[in-house]
Each structure stands twice: as structure tokens, then as C-alpha cells.
Amino acid sequence: LAADFIDWLANHDWSYATSAAKLFGGALAMGFGAIGAGVGEGITAGEAIDSGARQPAAAGELVRIMLIGQAIAETSGIFALVIAFVLMFGAPEPSLEMVGASIGAGLAMGLGAIGSGVGAGIAGGKAAASIGRNPRTRGTVTMNMLIGQALTTSPAVFCLVVSVLLAFAQQLDKYMGSTLQVAVAAFAAGLCVGAGGIGPGFGTGLAAGGACDAIGRNPDVQTDVTRMMLVGGAVSQSTAIYAFVISLLLILFV
């Protein structure tokens, strides 16, 4: 029975399934990818409004920091949009491998954008709250927010790399392993880096948010706090890096 199944997999005409999978992958990328940016930017806007209600005089500053913070929280959503277009309008070779790879690419970018979007939004929100509390700290807080958000976005960059590798992989079957293995490995690679990016993105956002909050309260220790944020955020990224490595192993060495 298993032999028949493997034979059927190898000889089936996968052209319809591949077309369906690339559209489905595009939907997964943008559907999941919209979650993070949406929630994150909402958090930023919420904090800015809260702060503005208490300090109407700082409204101009708050709108400025809110828009900068939201623009960066949007980055991972834009990555997802790009991957969705690549998948929808690409023409992958019809094969079981590309069915796995297309769905994997969509999941990678979609899930991977969640953590980064929410995390960057938390950092932006805390920065707005800090500036509302003490508008004189806007320079240091904005700089810290930008550094923190850049770190927060890195899991989404790992996911972008894996998605592009999967979406443009035309010759996955060149590598060793049976058709079924290669297809499942491509899907698993996408799921791995995507799901693996959620926690680190969110966690680094918490670190960056804590740092923005701290600098707002005590601007004199900006250097120490930014260093603490970078060290803590880097440790928090480690699991995203493990997931990235496992997913590259699945793509390249299976």
C-alpha cells in the first residue's frame, strides 16, 4: 500500500495542485501576516491616544512618534504582502515538491510576521507613552525605539529569506531524498521558521518596550538601558536563529 502511495505521488500530474498551492500560500502569507501589524499598530495608537488625553500639549509629538513607530511595525506586513504577490503571480514548476514549498513559503512569512509586528508595536507604544510623560526625552526615546524595532523585525527577515528560497526553489528535487520527503521538508521548513519567529519577535518587542519606558523615566541611563536591551533582545532572538538554522537544514540538506 505504501509503495502504491509513493508511486502515485511520483506519477500524479501536480499542475492543478501546484496552481492551487501557490494561491493558497499567498493567502496564508497575507492572512496571517496582517495579524501582527494590525495588533501592533493598534497598541501603538492606543498608547499614543492614552498619553495625548493626559498631555494634550504633547499631541504633535505623540502623532509624530506614533506614525514613526507604526511605519516600522508595518514592515513585516509589507514583507508578507510581497511574498503573497510573489506566490500568487509566480509560475512554479508543477510538482509535489512545489506544492509543499509554496504552502511552506506562505506559512513562513505569514506566521513570521505576527511576532515582529506585535513586538514593534509594543516598542512604539511604550515610546509614545514615555514621550507623553516627558516630552524632553523624545530624542533618546525615539532612537532607542528605532534600534529596538530593528531588532524586533529580524525574525521577519529570517522568514523573508526562507520564503524567498522556497518560492523560487525550482529544483528542489535535485537534492537527495524522495519526492514525498522533499515536499514535506519544504513545508516543515516554512512552518518551523514562521512559528519560530512569533515568540522572539514578541519577546524582543517587550524588551524594547521596557527600554523605551525606562529611558522615559530616567534619561541619564540611556546608554546602560540600550545596552541591556540589546543584550537581552539578542538572547531572546536565539530561538528564532535555531528555527532559522533547522529550516535551512530542512531545505538544503534533506
Partner 1 sequence: MEEAIVRAAALLGAGLAMGFGAIGPGVGEGFAAGKACEGVAKRPEEAALLTRTMLIGQAVSESTGIYSLVIAILLIFVVKG
Interaction site with partner 1 (CB under 8 A) = 2-3, 5-6, 115, 119, 155, 177-178, 180-181, 183-185, 187-211, 213-215, 217-218, 220-221, 224-225, 228-229, 231-233, 235-240, 242-243, 246-247, 249-250, 253-254
- C-alpha cell read off for 94: 508543477
CB closer to partner 1, 75 vs 179:
179
Minimum CB separation from partner 1 for residue 197, in Å? 8
Between helix 59-89 and helix 15-54 the angle, nearest 10°, is: 180
Sign of CA dihedral 16, 22, 28, 34: negative
Closest C-alpha to 48, from 147, 141, 127: 127
CB closer to partner 1, 82 vs 245:
245
CB closer to partner 1, 58 vs 229:
229
Angstrom distance (rounded) from CA 211 to CA 224: 10
Radius of gyration from C-alpha coordinates of the chain: 21
CB closer to partner 1, 67 vs 248:
248
Tell me whether residue 182 is exposed, middle or buried, using C-beta atoms within 10 angstroms of its C-beta: 0 to 12, 13 to 18, 19 or more: buried
Angstrom distance (rounded) from CA 200 to CA 234: 9
Half-sphere exposure for 233 (CA within 13 Å, toward CB): 31
Minimum CB separation from partner 1 for residue 127, in Å? 13
Minimum CB separation from partner 1 for residue 120, in Å? 12
CB closer to partner 1, 36 vs 119:
119
Minimum CB separation from partner 1 for residue 11, in Å? 14
Minimum CB separation from partner 1 for residue 226, in Å? 9
Angstrom distance (rounded) from CA 105 to CA 26: 8
Between helix 15-54 and helix 96-133 the angle, nearest 10°, is: 0
CB closer to partner 1, 89 vs 101:
101
Query: How many other β-carbons are positioned within 10 Å of the β-carbon of residue 221?
Result: 13
User: What DSSP character marks residue 56?
Assistant: G
* Cα 86 from chain centre: 17
- C-alpha cell read off for 194: 514562521
Minimum CB separation from partner 1 for residue 178, in Å? 4
CB closer to partner 1, 46 vs 63:
46
Minimum CB separation from partner 1 for residue 46, in Å? 18
